[in-house]
């Protein structure tokens, strides 16, 4: 165990939130950034459908970033095939998502971090504890335990944030277990589908064509997640989805804040970004836009000085938290079967598809 190194800011996690913050911080700050991912074939990869929503695209525009071709996946799809399996209803809705490879997006954003930031990849953060006026971070790198001390700590380490659990141990945020499987894409035409089935979950599931593969997954209550996913596979196959044997299965916890007070931006000399703070849409589980927004807000707060940065960050994210509160109300509507029966039955805001849908099964022309 070596001696502790000292930093102004330590960032745990280099997903979109942590990598963006690291890129935007004042180069005069001494910054340490730790991340589980590395360039190896067995590197950690976040299970994610990999769609970039318009709000996230707007954030990239504000940041002056242009997506490289290598981040995008094929094909690009302009409508969502929405199915309520319990009601037997199907509609198509126009959407403007970008289909991308989430791991390649994360690696590209990390590549933009300037050399003034000390980045350690492929490391595991094992403990976080108060130390003097800041925090002490224990992490394992290459089998060696190391220690760092930072005046200001940032948790950008996702749903199961070690930083949140260590610094704010009493804070709880509602969550699901997201389980998704990969298949060879055997469907006649690629598509993106949003799936509801109140018998399996009070959240939703998804299906998506991506680079010759088809992803099928859902967000489920944790105790029944594996069984619910197996049931979903059978039900969408009966609906007309072409699925063979799964090529792989992955799972992770996903947050879905149920009340505004479940959001946790942080306090004192520790702040949380993105999903670690609960900044994720409870109605769509979209989190990239909130990752970018929270990173920009905290960078502005920290660049003005470490003293009082947490209070400035809380003020700067007030609008973001208000929008999430509205999403919580929206979730109470769209996740209920009766409103969906009315909206989908009447075809509100849906688009009409020419001819029969190409997938057969229980689908209806829209």
Assigned domain for 199 exists: yes
Mean pLDDT of 167-190: 96
- In a shared domain, residues 270 and 250: no
Q: Is residue 225 over pLDDT 50?
A: yes
Q: Is residue 356 over pLDDT 80?
A: no
- In a shared domain, residues 132 and 249: no
Assigned domain for 95 exists: yes
Assigned domain for 63 exists: no
What is the predicted pLDDT for the residue at 1? Answer: 37
- In a shared domain, residues 128 and 234: no
Least confident of 12-16, 46-50, 88-92, 268-272: 46-50
Total of domains in the chain: 2
- In a shared domain, residues 272 and 124: yes
- In a shared domain, residues 261 and 280: yes
- In a shared domain, residues 181 and 32: no
- In a shared domain, residues 24 and 126: yes
pLDDT digits (tens, 9 = 90+) for 74-98: 999 999 999 999 999 999 999 999 9
What is the predicted pLDDT for the residue at 44? Answer: 72
Assigned domain for 54 exists: no
- In a shared domain, residues 118 and 40: yes
- In a shared domain, residues 121 and 166: yes
Short-list 114, 100, 13, 94, CA closest to 56: 100
Assigned domain for 50 exists: no
Assigned domain for 58 exists: no
Q: Which domain holds residue 15?
A: 5-45+104-172+257-330
- In a shared domain, residues 195 and 237: yes
Assigned domain for 320 exists: yes
Q: Is residue 2 over pLDDT 70?
A: no
CA 310 – CA 251 distance, rounded (Å)? 32
Q: How far is CA 87 from CA 224, 314, 324, 344, in A?
A: 21, 42, 28, 10
pLDDT above 70 coverage of the chain, percent: 95
Q: pTM for this structure?
A: 0.93
- In a shared domain, residues 211 and 138: no
- In a shared domain, residues 214 and 182: yes
């Amino acid at each position: 165990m070596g001696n502790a190194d000292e930093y102004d800011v330590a960032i745990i996690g280099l997903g979109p939130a942590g990598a963006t913050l690291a890129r935007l911080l004042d180069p005069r700050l001494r910054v340490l950034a730790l991340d589980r991912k590395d360039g190896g074939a067995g590197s950690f990869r976040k299970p994610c459908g990999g769609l970039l929503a318009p709000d996230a695209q707007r954030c990239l525009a504000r940041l002056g970033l242009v997506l490289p071709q290598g981040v995008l996946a094929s094909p690009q799809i302009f409508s969502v095939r929405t199915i309520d399996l319990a009601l037997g209803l199907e509609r198509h809705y126009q959407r403007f998502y970008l289909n991308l490879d989430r791991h390649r997006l994360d690696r590209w954003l990390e590549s933009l971090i300037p050399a003034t930031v000390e980045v350690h990849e492929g490391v595991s953060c094992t403990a976080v504890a108060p130390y003097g006026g800041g925090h002490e971070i224990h992490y394992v790198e290459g089998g060696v335990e190391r220690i760092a001390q930072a005046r200001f700590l940032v948790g950008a380490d996702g749903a199961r944030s070690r930083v949140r659990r260590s610094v704010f141990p009493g804070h709880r945020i509602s969550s699901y277990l997201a389980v998704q499987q990969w298949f060879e894409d055997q469907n006649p035409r690629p598509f993106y589908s949003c799936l509801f089935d109140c018998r399996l979950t009070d959240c939703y599931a998804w299906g998506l064509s991506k680079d010759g593969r088809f992803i099928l997954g859902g967000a489920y209550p944790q105790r029944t997640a594996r069984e619910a996913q197996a049931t979903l596979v059978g039900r969408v196959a009966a609906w007309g989805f072409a699925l063979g044997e799964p090529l792989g299965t992955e799972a992770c916890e996903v947050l879905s804040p149920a009340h505004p007070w479940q959001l946790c931006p942080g306090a004192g000399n520790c702040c949380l970004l993105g999903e670690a703070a609960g900044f994720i849409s409870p109605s769509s589980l979209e989190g990239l836009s909130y990752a970018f927004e929270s990173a920009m807000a905290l960078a502005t707060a920290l660049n003005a000085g470490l003293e009082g940065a947490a209070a400035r960050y809380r003020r700067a994210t007030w609008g973001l938290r208000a929008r999430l509160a509205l999403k919580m109300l929206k979730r109470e509507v769209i996740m209920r079967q009766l409103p969906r029966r009315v909206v989908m039955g009447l075809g509100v805001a849906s688009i009409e598809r020419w001819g029969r849908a190409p997938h057969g099964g229980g689908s209806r022309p829209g």
